[in-house]
Structure 1
Amino acid sequence: MVTIFLCDDNSETVEKYSTLIKRTAEKHQIDIALSVFYSGESLVFHMSDTPDLPDIIYLDILMGKLNGINTAKQLRKLGCNAEIIFLTSSEDYVFDSFDVFPIHYLLKEETAQEKFEQVFLRAVHLSAGEEAKKFVCKSGASHKIISLKEISHYDINRGVVTVHYGKNEKFEYWMTLAELEDQLRGKDFIRTHRSYIVNLQYIAKFARRSVVLKTGESIPVGVTYEDKVKTAFMDYIVRINAEF
């Protein structure tokens, strides 16, 4: 079952996309549960206690007081990891949407059926693979399973790894940094220092010998790692932008 939320303040658009989603799901024999919302406020309120409920969110950008970009930012702060697809009649906001990591940006009047299906199926595929995007860390009898999307960075001190995730949460366990690097290889994490590994999607800006994360934290960048970090980040940005 794939849980999908559709949020748009225009009833005709809601009807149109509800039909498209149901028709596409039926065509590809995908079992879905679809819920609709008519404002960003109502969507945020509904998800305040259950941010992980939806797998996919179709979200209009141009809405009343709380537009789609700000709605998505609030949802991400709540811990929502759903695949977000923006709907809009204008391309003006495409770069503003990068901060919330949407998978696509659909123009309402210009999206062909074939394109809609491609984006829908990609979202379903990504949401289905989300279980593979978990990080498992164990400390004695206790263990923690964390979505990689929630992890901003790791630091290590005398063999103790601290994973930083969610809303300033931490979990400590034993592992070498080399072992951790192997575990994270190919998953958009980069070593910035002999004691730090950072999630590329959390980098907000580069400073002198450091990177500032979207969480506000400043992480040191060692001299020997600086060029590699910048190259990895630029490759990541190019790849993300190419998906739009």
Structure 2
Amino acid sequence: MLKIFLCDDDLDARAQYAGLIKKAAKKNKVEITISYFKSGEELLFFLADSPNQADIIYLDILMNKLNGLDTAKRLRELGCSSEIIFLTTSEDYVFDAYDISPIQYLIKSKITTAKFEEIFNRAITLVSKKENDMFLCESGKNNIRKVIPFREISFFEIWKRIISVHYNGGEVFQFYSTMEQIENQLLHRGFVRIHRSYIVNMSYIMQFEQNVLILKTGEKIPIGATYMKQMKQVFANYISRTNIHDCG
């Protein structure tokens, strides 16, 4: 399900672009949800605590108070990696817009259905490529969606069906799942199951200490006896492939 946010202070424009988005999605057999925002301030407030809830953001530039360019800059500062498509009536900001790495700068008066669909498909392609390098999870409790680069994840742990993903040197995000489902998502990505309650990113392993694994983050993770042999073999293969020799 592709999550699309549409931010424009013009009600008629929102309706027009929503129609084009739905038409392109239907033609290309893509399931979508669209959320609507009437100002940059409203969009920023909604994304403040979880900036990567949208896959694609359609953003008008000429809005009252906070314009689309400043909104996009603040979103990037928050860590938002969503694909951004600018919509505007003016070409005056075209060079400023590219500092934010948008997919496209669309002039409202020049948009054709074919052009809109072309940009929509380009956005889908970029989102798909990004998802290959990202771990996606969603908290059912407050409906917060999290997109985390695999390289930033140090380990996963489970307690009573609640998965905690540890990432970015100390941050934690919790969601409902099973370790088996997580293992399937992590195939061939350098992770290893070391305990019935733990899966570890092998690039974070610093050393072994009896039945404990010490990570580069300083955290100590127990190694389950039934996982010891398999874990050592998987890690040895990983060391061989990556030529890493900094473990004890």
Per the shorter chain, which TM-score range? 0.5 to 0.7
The answer as to whether partners of 2:54 and 2:82 remain within 8 angstroms in 1 is: yes
Match in the other structure for 2:116: 116
Alignment of 1:1-244 (within 5 A): 1-133=1-133, 134=149, 136=151
What amino acid is aligned across from residue 54 of structure 1 in structure 2? A
What's the CA shift string for 1:200-244, capped at 9, x where partnerless? xxxxxxxxxxxxxxxxxxxxxxxxxxxxxxxxxxxxxxxxxxxxx
User: CA–CA distance in 2 between the matches of 1:23 and 1:71?
Assistant: 27
5+ residue gaps, structure 2: 134-148, 158-164, 169-203, 205-214, 218-241, 243-248
User: CA–CA distance in 2 between the matches of 1:92 and 1:51?
Assistant: 28
- Return closer, same or farther for 1:102/1:140 CA change in 2, 3 Å cut-off: closer
Q: Post-superposition shift, 1:135?
A: 5.0
- Return closer, same or farther for 1:29/1:38 CA change in 2, 3 Å cut-off: same
User: CA–CA distance in 2 between the matches of 1:140 and 1:26?
Assistant: 38
| Count of equivalent residues | 152
User: CA–CA distance in 1 between the matches of 2:48 and 2:151?
Assistant: 25
User: CA–CA distance in 1 between the matches of 2:10 and 2:216?
Assistant: 47
> Which one has the largest radius of gyration?
2
TM-score, scaled to structure 2: 0.56
The answer as to whether partners of 1:136 and 1:144 remain within 8 angstroms in 2 is: no
The answer as to whether partners of 1:3 and 1:34 remain within 8 angstroms in 2 is: yes
Q: Post-superposition shift, 1:19?
A: 0.6
5+ residue gaps, structure 1: 147-159, 161-170, 174-181, 183-244
What amino acid is aligned across from residue 151 of structure 2 in structure 1? V
Q: Which moved more, 1:94-103 or 1:3-12?
A: 94-103
User: CA–CA distance in 1 between the matches of 2:109 and 2:216?
Assistant: 50
Match in the other structure for 1:165: none
Q: Post-superposition shift, 1:125?
A: 1.2
Q: Post-superposition shift, 1:27?
A: 1.2
- Return closer, same or farther for 1:139/1:110 CA change in 2, 3 Å cut-off: closer
Identical pairs, percent: 48
What amino acid is aligned across from residue 54 of structure 2 in structure 1? P
The SS at the match of 1:95 is: helix
